[in-house]
């Protein structure tokens, strides 16, 4: 199996940027892990660039150590986050429970187990967001399955139609098939995720 010519061309053009971004994820300081997870709580059904602006504002205001009105930040038109009231509650809950979450992140568990437990422990994230968060702090080999990834897998003839990932069992099945596809086209799973993302969105955010 080969990548469609458009994707292969995009990869060859951006391969160095993709590899560089993955190296940057590995260098994220542990002191920033909290804010990286804040970013991933904000991303569902909102733009990644808006979530990144929110993340930067939370860092600037030292949200972890200060009581601030997170809802006002999330509802701001310049970085609007959908379901801002609910997500503000989840961010405050994350801060309250951070010690427990941090212990899991720094544990000796394998990446898959760590991801699966995070998705159950942190209110507001599922398997996709937990995978996204761990990838953003340098963990490898996790499938970040969103509609963009699934749509491109259809374009690559891996599926005839967008597969169902509505349950953990179905998510894990598609994740394994995504890994097999990455092996077949001889591109690292983490690289091919950023390849697909940048192909759809035009840039490499995180």
Element (H, E) at 39: helix 33-42
193 in Cβ contact with 149 (< 8 Å): yes
Tell which residue, 156, 104, 162, has the closest CA to residue 133. 104
Mean pLDDT (the chain, rounded) = 94
For 5-25+143-201, the fitting CATH number among 3.40.50.300, 3.60.20.10, 3.90.110.10, 1.10.1670.10 is 1.10.1670.10
70 in Cβ contact with 54 (< 8 Å): no
Q: Where are the domains of the chain?
A: 5-25+143-201, 30-136
Torsion angle, CA of 132/138/139/143, rounded to 10 degrees? 40
**pLDDT tens-place string over residues 70-123:** 999 999 999 999 999 999 999 999 999 999 999 999 999 999 999 999 999 999
Percentage above 90 pLDDT, the chain:
89
Instruction: Give CATH for domain 30-136.
Output: 1.10.340.30
Mean pLDDT of 34-44: 96
Task: Specify the pLDDT at position 191.
Answer: 94
| 204 pLDDT higher than 80 | no
Q: How confident is the model at residue 35 (pLDDT cuts 50, 70, 90)?
A: very high
On the question of a common fold for 5-25+143-201 and 30-136, the answer reads: no
Q: How confident is the model at residue 206 (pLDDT cuts 50, 70, 90)?
A: confident
Using the CB atoms, write b or e for 33-65: b if 16+ within 10 Å: bbbbbbbbbbbbebbbebbbbbbebbeeeebee
CA 46-50-54 angle, 5° bins: 115
Please list the active-site residues: 128, 146
- Report d(CA 73, CA 152) in Å as an integer: 33
Task: Specify the pLDDT at position 203.
Answer: 74
DSSP state of 44: T
């Amino acid at each position: 199996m080969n990548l469609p010519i458009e994707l292969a061309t995009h990869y060859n053009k951006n391969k160095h940027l993709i590899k560089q971004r993955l190296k940057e994820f590995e260098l994220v300081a542990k002191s920033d892990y909290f804010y990286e997870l804040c970013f991933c709580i904000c991303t569902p059904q909102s733009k990644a660039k808006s979530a990144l602006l929110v993340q930067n504002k939370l860092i600037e205001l030292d949200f972890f150590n200060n009581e601030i009105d997170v809802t006002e930040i999330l509802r701001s038109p310049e970085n609007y986050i959908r379901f801002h009231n609910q997500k503000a509650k989840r961010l405050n809950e994350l801060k309250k429970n951070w010690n427990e979450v941090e212990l899991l992140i720094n544990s000796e568990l394998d990446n898959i187990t760590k991801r699966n437990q995070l998705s159950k422990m942190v209110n507001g994230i599922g398997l996709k967001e937990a995978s996204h968060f761990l990838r953003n702090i340098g963990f490898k080999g996790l499938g970040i399955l969103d509609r963009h990834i699934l749509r491109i897998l259809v374009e690559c003839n891996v599926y005839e139609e967008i597969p169902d990932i509505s349950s953990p069992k179905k998510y894990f099945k598609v994740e394994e098939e995504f890994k097999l596809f990455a092996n077949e086209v001889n591109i690292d799973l983490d690289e091919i995720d950023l390849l697909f993302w940048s192909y759809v969105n035009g840039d490499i955010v995180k």
